[in-house]
Amino acid sequence: MLSIPYRFFNYETYDRCLKEIIENTHNQFKVEEHEPIGFSTCGFPLRHYSIGNGPFEIVYMGGAHGNEIIGVDFIIHYMKNLALGNGVFSSFRPDLFRIHFFPIQNPEGFFTTTYAITEVCKDLDFEAFCKDYYRNYREANQAILGIHTILEAFCEKEQRNHSLNSWKEDFWVTYYGHNITVDQLREFLEEKLDDKIDNKYLEDLWNQYILSKVICCPWAYQRPFEGVDYHCIPEVSQSHQALRNHLKDMFSSHHYPKAMYANFCANAIGVNLNENNEPYFREQKAILQEGKQVMVAPIYGSFPKNIVGPFGMPSDGMETFSYAIENRAVLDFLKKHHERIYAFVNCHSTGGMLFFNPYYEKDNTECDFSFYINNRLATEYLKEIRRSFLRNGVDDSYQAMGYPNRVSGFGDVLRRTYPASFLLELSKAGGNPLGPYIHPNYELTMKVNMEASQSLWKTILEVQDLYGKTYRKYYDVLGRVRYEESVRTRKK
């Protein structure tokens, strides 16, 4: 039976739990601790563990975004249950598989978020606090969607659909941090339209889509964290001290809302590890060169994310692109082990989705079987997710996602480079970082994904030969599709 205690990890509990997993005398399968794959900006180790010694290697990574803390929990619970041989893991074959674990890719973001939460929740009922947080987060999202719906209605009425995105952005830049009423929205619309508007039409829309007379900003879910600052980081090591100093400089230089300490996405120098990829860097740079701004979503604060900050920029400078050292560590590991890795699972937080498509195949070019491999593994994983939900009395499933033509995240870079590289959004309950901790979502999220993970083992064995093959698709003189297949060393 799987063991999934409801708990919250910060630096101390995370460190202690990993030691307990390694040293547990009841382990059925040995946990091996390796040298870190690298170190963060502040010098925190990017830890690396593995279970099994088989030729088929699978990597699980959590904590790319600091505020997506449930991904770290999942990795820890997975390691513990696999080591003990609990439940579905009793059939694990260490002679066939080797499972690598990178519990936290972004320790600086994770520790910033979790220390802030620890500071606020030390005298509170944590589960009750998470329920309030989740409810307040949903209400904030509903208010934002309501405002956007009203703006869209006026854009359509005035035949200004091309202005909608800029209207949304301008509205939250203007009013975030202030209480918002129908009067503020009227002023905003009249300024944009340079004319008086139909007051009754606006008030009818407000009453239809906004659940209160006043939208209060900052949002209710953020307010408990307004008293938190860099002092929540204890000075227990040089890395902690470096993190404190980076946070102090960042928040004093740009005056971010202090509530962002508990929803810190980037690393200590303000680099968002998922957005830290060259295609997105070039895309964002082009937007800035047009005189436009790249903004954080209004649910988090509507401040620029192309400068050093809690949601970060794609690189540590906007002139030239460079990978953050945390991303470079992952890339170096995958390059070194590429011929032995059969799946890479990048665990993020909310949405209940599996991103899997690497690219579209093109005619008359040599292709590998990544598209087929990814689809097979993803299909079986999603089928098992649904079966697991049903076994637990819930009629639910995860959504298959893929955007082959556009790279928007580091996870997309990996999906376009390595076969069976997936980005997994774990929780069906939204609201980072604490929304996924509502009961019973927390335990169910862990359980269905652990049970589904065994589908990867079976499917990898079924399609293993395809990892080393390529083919060329072409058309014969009669217009029929033909394939030429070849075998070669797996691409780096």
Average confidence (pLDDT) over 107-113: 97
Cis previous bond, 433, omega within 30: yes
Q: Binning pLDDT at 50, 70 and 90, where does residue 361 land?
A: low
Q: Where are the alpha helices (DSSP H) in 351-434?
A: 370-391, 410-417
* Least confident stretch, 37-41, 96-100, 418-422: 418-422
Average confidence (pLDDT) over 144-149: 96
pLDDT at position 492 over 50: no
Q: What is the pLDDT of residues 182-215, one digit of tens each?
A: 999 999 999 999 889 999 999 999 999 998 999 9
Q: Is 151 exposed, middle or buried (0-12, 13-18, 19+ CB in 10 A)?
A: buried
Please compute, for residue 346, the number of CA atoms within 13 A of its CA located in the half-sphere on the CB side: 24
Q: Which two tokens stand for residue 103?
A: 């519990």
Q: What is the pLDDT of residues 457-480, one digit of tens each?
A: 999 999 999 998 887 777 777 777
Phi (first) and psi of residue 46, to 5 degrees: -95, 90
3-class DSSP assignment, residue 85: coil
3-class DSSP assignment, residue 59: strand
- Chain centroid to Cα 298, Å, comes to 18
Q: Kindly report the pTM of this predicted structure.
A: 0.94
Distances (CA, A) of 412 to 334, 415, 424: 15, 5, 12
Q: How many helices (H) and strands (E) does the chain have?
A: 13, 11
Q: What is the pLDDT of residue 353?
A: 96
- Is the Cβ–Cβ distance between 69 and 113 less than 8 Å? yes
Q: What is the pLDDT of residue 66?
A: 97
- Is the Cβ–Cβ distance between 261 and 247 less than 8 Å? yes
Q: Binning pLDDT at 50, 70 and 90, where does residue 360 land?
A: low
pLDDT at position 140 over 90: yes
Q: What is the pLDDT of residue 95?
A: 98
pLDDT averaged over every residue in the chain: 91
CA distance linking residue 449 with residue 436, whole number of Å:
14
Average confidence (pLDDT) over 58-66: 97
pLDDT at position 30 over 90: yes
Distances (CA, A) of 122 to 16, 117, 119, 169, 237: 18, 8, 6, 36, 22
CA distance linking residue 471 with residue 483, whole number of Å:
6
CA distance linking residue 486 with residue 463, whole number of Å:
16
- Is the Cβ–Cβ distance between 352 and 68 less than 8 Å? no
- Chain centroid to Cα 120, Å, comes to 24
pLDDT at position 300 over 50: yes
3-class DSSP assignment, residue 60: strand
Nearest partner of 468 among 450, 486, 456, judged by Cα: 486
CA distance linking residue 236 with residue 59, whole number of Å:
31
Q: Which two tokens stand for residue 258?
A: 């202090």
Nearest partner of 386 among 451, 317, 334, judged by Cα: 451
Q: Binning pLDDT at 50, 70 and 90, where does residue 491 land?
A: very low
